[in-house]
Amino acid sequence: MDLFSNSNLPYTIGFIAIIIIGVILHILLFIYLPAKLAKNRGRSALGWVLLSYITTPFLACILLLIVGNSTEKILRDMQKEKEIGQQQ
């Protein structure tokens, strides 16, 4: 039986669509979300992406929210606020 025969074509297209949707969700959940949250908090995006693979993306995001901003990020934000205050 040929996978791409006319009788199996709708099933094949549906299967390919499911694979594409799965890949997109995988990229969003396991890569983009933890990386974006980590970068916004001044943390290592790669480290948090790897942690989301070891645990779950949900747990990695919760941990990121718990640990908060890095010390360097806090200091940079304070410096920016100070500069803005001096300009006014």
- What is the distance between the alpha carbons of residues 88 and 79, in angstroms, rounded to a whole number? 15
Locus of tokens 């669509």 = 17
Question: Given this model, what pLDDT does residue 87 score?
Answer: 80
pLDDT tens, 38-87?
999 999 999 999 999 899 888 999 999 999 999 999 999 899 998 888 88
Give the other-Cβ count within 10 Å of 32's Cβ: 14
pTM (2 decimals)? 0.68
